[in-house]
Each structure stands twice: as C-alpha cells, then as structure tokens.
Amino acid sequence: MIVLAAVFGGLWLDRTIGTEKPVITIILVLVSAPLSLALTYWRALQVVKDIQASPSEEGQANFVKEDETVE
C-alpha cells in the first residue's frame, strides 16, 4: 500500500513539477520499500507478542477441568 502510494504520488509530482525523468517517483519508491518492510516487521513482532501474552483456549479448558475435579 505504501509503495503504491509512493508510485502514484511520485508520478503525480513528476507531472506537476514537469521533470523530464521520473526522479521523484524513483526516490519515493526507494524510500517507501524499506519503510514498508520495517513496518511489516514491527507489526509482526506486535502480533507475536500478543499471541504469546494471551492464554490459549486449550489451556483455559484444562484449567477449568482441573478446578472442577478439585472441588
């Protein structure tokens, strides 16, 4: 999504400014690609952290069964 925005925004800026070569488009794509990868990596780390923090459904089911047998 970020890379597509960079391509279309760069093409628009190149046409608006009147550059002969798509210099702005190339610069924006070169900046947006690593940015997109970094944001994807950061988001993946957040999701993994959330998954590890939340108890699993199996663990909850086993916990309930153990409580019922104790009482």
Average pLDDT, the chain: 85
Band the pLDDT of 56: cuts 50, 70, 90.
low
Domain holding 62, by residue range, is: 2-70
Say if residue 60's pLDDT is above 70.
no
C-alpha dist (Å) from residue 71 to 9, 61, 68: 66, 16, 6
Ordered alpha helix ranges (H), 18-71: 23-53, 57-70
Residues making up the chain, counted from first to last: 71
**Which of the two residues, 36 and 57, has the higher pLDDT score?**
36
Note the pLDDT tens digit of each residue in 28-39.
Answer: 999 999 999 999
**Total domain count for the chain?**
1
The pLDDT, as a whole number, for residue 70 is 54
Q: What span, in angstroms and rounded, lies between the C-alpha atoms of 16 and 27? A: 16
The pLDDT, as a whole number, for residue 53 is 83
